[in-house]
Amino acid sequence: MKKFYFLFIAFLLALPSFAQQNISGVVISSEDNEPIIGASVMIKGTSRGVSTNLDGQFTIQAQGNQTLVISYVGMESKEVPINNRTTINVTLDPRAEVLEEVVVTAMGIQTEKKKLNFAVQSVDGESLTDGKSQNFVNALQGKISGLSVTTSSGSPNAGTQILIRGISSINNAQNNEPLFVMDGIPLAGRGSAAADINPNDIENVTILKGAAASALYGQDAANGVVMITTKQGKVGTVSVNASASFQYDVPTRLRQIQTTYGPGAQGFYKEKTMGGWGPLLSDNVERFDNVGNFLNNGFFQKYDVSLNGGSEKFQAYASANYSKNNGIVPNDYLNRMGLLLKGTYQPFESLSVTMSANINERTSRGFGATSMSSVYYWPITDDITNYEEENGYPRYLYYNDALKYASPMSPLYSRYNDASKNRSTRNILNGSINFKPIKNLEIIGRVSFDSSHSNYDGYNVPRWDDMVVLRNFMEPFDKYFKFTPSCKHIEPGTP
């Protein structure tokens, strides 16, 4: 009897498998009738599915009364009832929004993406601000395939380098960074200079790759082009947006320093030397964490406010931002202030004029990697926070009195007492005219003025009684003027 029940239950469990059959077919695109590789073929209501092969073919086991769900990125999904068929061929249509996707290309002209013969990728402004990056160049990291962003150090003043598809030349004199273009006008400088642009003022960023994409910009665009489109006023009542962001930086992974041997060299003890291979230290000798005691916790704060609105004939956009970035090194900071004013006037349907002013000011004090080496080499038996003598002058590490002032002094004394400051101002003025004299023809003219002014003021306090103190001052000034005309044929039916 038990054997009978066992056979009966096994028979019931096997019924679904008897009802299943192999379903095969091909998935193609309605645009070119070519097979779609990697399309997903799922059985509706289950987690079972397969993907199409290199020929767009698939084979799946299913019951005759089930439904297949076929989908692919950028295509409209389809549900196909099996209806006891063993062969099912499916044609997928492109999504409407993909067909109508518009990107900004060379000279800032908007073009449908499907008409381009080179690689283009875009990132909208909202995606750039989601990660709360300290500048928009760093915000591009991980959002564009083949694009890498590196910084020279962890300092707020560290330079930024951006590469598209790696380096194009191993020659150090050759610039491997792409050209930055804002609102159709090439910018002076590369990644570090473009980092001053406020991410909240950016509508979208388009990356043009390949020689064909950069043909209109010449040799400067041999490594690609980063097209930046800033926000502009929209028709409607005035809207106000404000935001604040904060970031706290804590140094957690520090370089490990040996604590077994004391200051000196070749096993000989020399108290005030930077060599760390003297005699073995006994357990009762106090050891100091000089690297950890030298560094602070960093803090970044940023505030933004913007206004947007206008009528049918005039639209305006205005924004202001302020950021303060204190690094993990004492007195290592970067303060930024920015202002953007942008207005568009359209007296006639065929004519529009846009003017914008982008003003950025930054004040900073950096800390070089060479200076950090003295922190790592400071003797572990000496407290680096004890940086002043009783007379107020700095403490030195030296072998003897003859070498006293030629030897390294406490780096904390320099950070807290020396006064050095970098200040730079950059003004970018843009103007453009769009004129449509006849149907299907648009003439665009752009003009820009890009000026940068910076100064460095350095002052070292006296190190000893008879020291002669010199004050360093530098003040470079650069100006760039560009005029960019262009003409665009508008196909019939294009707005």
pLDDT per position as a tens digit, 399-458: 444 455 445 677 888 888 777 788 888 888 989 898 988 888 888 888 888 888 888 877
Residue 5: partners with Cβ closer than 8 Å, 6 or more residues away: none
pLDDT per position as a tens digit, 469-486: 555 555 555 666 555 555
CATH of 18-96, picked from 2.60.40.1120, 3.30.930.10, 2.60.120.10, 3.40.190.10, is 2.60.40.1120
Rounded Cα distance, 197 and 127, in Å: 15
pLDDT per position as a tens digit, 30-61: 877 889 988 999 998 888 889 999 889 999 99
Residue 188 pLDDT greater than 70, yes or no:
yes
Q: Which of 357, 327, 293 is nearest to 157 (CA)?
A: 327
Written as one letter, the residue type at 75 is M
Residue 466 pLDDT greater than 70, yes or no:
no
Q: What is the mean pLDDT of the chain?
A: 78
Highest average pLDDT, of 62-71, 167-176, 217-226, 385-394, comes from 62-71
CB-count exposure of residue 52 (10 Å: 0-12, 13-18, 19+) = buried
CB 451 within 8 A of CB 361: no
pLDDT per position as a tens digit, 132-163: 777 778 888 777 777 788 777 777 777 777 88
Q: Which of 341, 335, 332, 299 is nearest to 196 (CA)?
A: 335
Rounded Cα distance, 420 and 417, in Å: 10
Highest average pLDDT, of 65-69, 110-114, 393-397, comes from 65-69
pLDDT per position as a tens digit, 197-217: 888 899 888 888 766 666 667
User: Domain boundaries in the chain?
Assistant: 18-96, 99-230, 236-489
> What string of DSSP letters covers 368-411?
-HHHHHHHHTS-TTS-TT--B-TTSPBPB--SSGGGGGGS-B-H
Residue 334 pLDDT greater than 50, yes or no:
yes
Residue 305 pLDDT greater than 70, yes or no:
yes
| pTM greater than 0.85 | no
Residue 109 pLDDT greater than 50, yes or no:
yes
Rounded Cα distance, 377 and 437, in Å: 71
Residue 17 pLDDT greater than 50, yes or no:
no
Residue 110: partners with Cβ closer than 8 Å, 6 or more residues away: 102, 103, 104
CATH top-level class of 99-230: mainly beta
Rounded Cα distance, 208 and 224, in Å: 6
